[in-house]
A and B are shown apart, each in its own frame.
Chain A
Amino acid sequence: MYKYLILLCLIATPALGQIGHEIEKIEVRGNEKTRVEIIHQVLPIKVGDNLREGDIDRCRIVLERLLLFRTAFVNVKPGAEKGKAILVVYVQEKRFGDLGVSLEYSELDGFGASTNAHYANLRGEGKLVGVEYGLGERFKYWGFHYSDPLFLKTNQAFHIQVTGSSADRDIFRNPDPDIRGRYDLERIGFAMGFGQPSPLRAYHFVLKYAFEAIQIGDFQHPPIPTGGGIFANEIKAAVGRETLSTLSFNLFKQPVSAIWGQGTDFNARLTLSSKLLGSVANYIKLRTELYRHQQVTAGHILSLGVKTGGVWGNPPFYERFYLDGDNQLRGIERRVIGPEGGTLFVAAEALYAIDLKTLGRVYAFAESGGVHRSVNGNDRRDADFAFGVGMLLFNRVDISFGISTGTLIVKSHRFAGVKIGL
């Protein structure tokens, strides 16, 4: 029966807003614990504004981003006078929040499982509290977070989080453990930030302060030397506990790459670490990312992207840039380029992707990456290039094969999971 019922509902079309009408009232329906003023405050249009094209979608998106509602629906109906309209907002609240469990894999951390839960709408004010935990072959983490999307009744978001992680890391990339060596990198700390969550502006700005206690331990120097002694000694010298205290400025444009369409992604993060703040080292770190997704024909997208990074001062070794994790390339194994990390890095790629609807997408790519580091006055540069093909299965699992390198990479790591909205 339900299949017929669903089919029956597919034919319907949503009502469209009447552009140009002045909003005389905002009517909120369906809310039981969420305060009406919270919804009014977060909406990008107010009473007295004229309805513009896209306003209804913007209202719905901002409500969905609050993570408080299972359903958010926005519509307009005629007002009491000609030329005026009433904005109608319907929400179905989550009774609890979300629970999530997923299995993960990454080139860096191997297989793992993670779980998270958050309670939505604390005191009816849109606040969220949540916990997360992950356990994997080479990485485990836990965290607690709290966020207020409308801090002190302003349109600024505030969040605070306490996190801890422990990672098993190789000193060198080699299948032989006597050449590879290893160490543990543990982090525990907290962060707090302020940000602008409104989708009215294309760009978002977040100011964040973070304090972390970092411990390097369980260091195992590789018994077989390979000419990388400086790096191993650098890690050995860092064994023990130290603190990082940083202030960061993050400017970004909401990513469009998650959806199948064209647009531009931008993200820039500037991090300042100072001994005046209690940090172990003085340094400035900047990482930028710019992608342009251009639709060539229906279902065909050309993406051009570049990532750059630089760190100046005396950063600890783990704050340098490595071509793994978020910087993982598609056709070159992690840390094959610049295994000791770089103070400067660049990675660029071009992807031509074809949409396979629910199955995901297939793509061809060409990429290049490189790092630079100065050691005892000598410049160390390392770069490479690859081309190949790949598939984004179910828009989740990103598997690519470098034809020029013969390397298979699983880039995205969340390969199975369930999310339950309660």
Chain B
Amino acid sequence: MARFFIIHTLTVCLFANVQPALAQHIPQDSLYIFVQSDTLRLDATIDSLFSKRTIDAIESGMTTSIAVQFRLRTGRGDNLGQSSLLRRLEHDIWEGQYRLIRQSARPDTQITSHFEDIRHACSELRGIALAQLPFPDEPITLQMRIDVNPISPEQRERTRQWLKIIEKGSFLEFFFSLDRSASPEWVDLFRFRPSALPHLLDE
């Protein structure tokens, strides 16, 4: 028996699906939100996580940062929870080896020689903890933002300098250069009522 309902069964309870068309997006039929042990969790598959430009950069050996973030907002704008998946992808093109390093309480590294393995590891999200229950039984919006950025050694060095300034936390930097696009905006992904969510039984 299926352990949880697919998202199509939830659509009856949904107020709206407000996901806009994005290059990087999560198709409706790959999005599963469920409750397990008083924790709201998510399964999803991200489509087109890596753009052609990003793949070009990765295949050139540039280090790439991959950030996927989810958050839950009430209609009043209160933040109910946030989840971040932060990874760094290195590609040693001389050795033909990819290293995907996950930033978490216990960092882990995946090493492979196939980019498809990396794409799968970064795109297939399983059991992502969004927030602890209970929630107020009012409409809640799931939001997402994704940022995949190749970072050259020179950019890293500039960033390192900036971080030193930030860590010192004091003086004003007069000169700055806006040489990259701004951080991505939050995108509304889904709206639901907590009472309508399927509950996954503990094994």
> Do B61 and A88 have beta carbons less than 8 Å apart?
yes
Q: A420: CB under 8 A from chain B?
A: yes
Q: B79: CB under 8 A from chain A?
A: no
> Do A6 and B57 have beta carbons less than 8 Å apart?
no
How close is B185's CB to chain A, nearest CB, in angstroms? 14
- Known contacts A5-B147, A8-B86, A415-B174; is A92 also within 8 Å of B93 by CB? no
Task: Render A379-422 as a binary contact track against B, CB cut-off 8 A, 1 for contact.
Answer: 00000000000000010100000000000000000011111110
> Do A75 and B84 have beta carbons less than 8 Å apart?
no
Majority SS at the chain B contact face? mixed
Contact residues, A15-50 vs B (CB, 8 A): 15, 18, 29-30
- Known contacts A9-B88, A77-B93; is A396 also within 8 Å of B164 by CB? no
Chain B residue with the shortest CB-CB distance to A70:
B179
Q: B165: CB under 8 A from chain A?
A: yes
Number of interface residues of A (CB under 8 A): 42
Q: Which residues of B contact A78 (CB under 8 A)?
A: 94, 96
A7 to B166 CA separation, bound complex (whole angstroms): 12
Q: A12: CB under 8 A from chain B?
A: yes
Q: B8: CB under 8 A from chain A?
A: no
Contact residues, B7-65 vs A (CB, 8 A): 53, 56-57, 59-63, 65
Q: Which residues of A contact B86 (CB under 8 A)?
A: 1, 4-5, 8
> Do B67 and A1 have beta carbons less than 8 Å apart?
yes
Q: Which residues of B contact A14 (CB under 8 A)?
A: 61, 63, 153
How close is A273's CB to chain B, nearest CB, in angstroms? 38
> Do B65 and A8 have beta carbons less than 8 Å apart?
yes
Q: Which residues of A contact B61 (CB under 8 A)?
A: 14-15, 73, 75, 77, 88
Q: A10: CB under 8 A from chain B?
A: yes
- Known contacts A1-B69, A2-B183, A30-B57; is A9 also within 8 Å of B178 by CB? no
> Do B179 and A421 have beta carbons less than 8 Å apart?
yes
Q: B133: CB under 8 A from chain A?
A: no
How close is A4's CB to chain B, nearest CB, in angstroms? 6
Among B113-121, B123-131, B155-163, B195-203, the stretch in contact with A: B155-163
A76 to B165 CA separation, bound complex (whole angstroms): 34
A357 to B53 CA separation, bound complex (whole angstroms): 34
Q: A233: CB under 8 A from chain B?
A: no
Q: Which residues of A contact B179 (CB under 8 A)?
A: 70, 420-421
Q: Which residues of A contact B174 (CB under 8 A)?
A: 394, 396, 415-417
A411 to B153 CA separation, bound complex (whole angstroms): 32
- Known contacts A4-B103, A15-B94, A30-B57; is A73 also within 8 Å of B62 by CB? yes
> Do A394 and B88 have beta carbons less than 8 Å apart?
no
10 cross-chain pairs, A with B, having the tightest CB-CB distances, nearest first: A90-B60, A29-B56, A75-B61, A77-B93, A12-B63, A421-B179, A14-B153, A30-B56, A15-B61, A420-B178
Between A and B, 17 residue pairs with Cβ closer than 8 Å are A1-B67, A5-B103, A6-B65, A8-B87, A8-B88, A9-B88, A9-B156, A9-B159, A12-B90, A15-B61, A15-B92, A75-B61, A78-B96, A88-B61, A359-B171, A394-B173, A394-B175
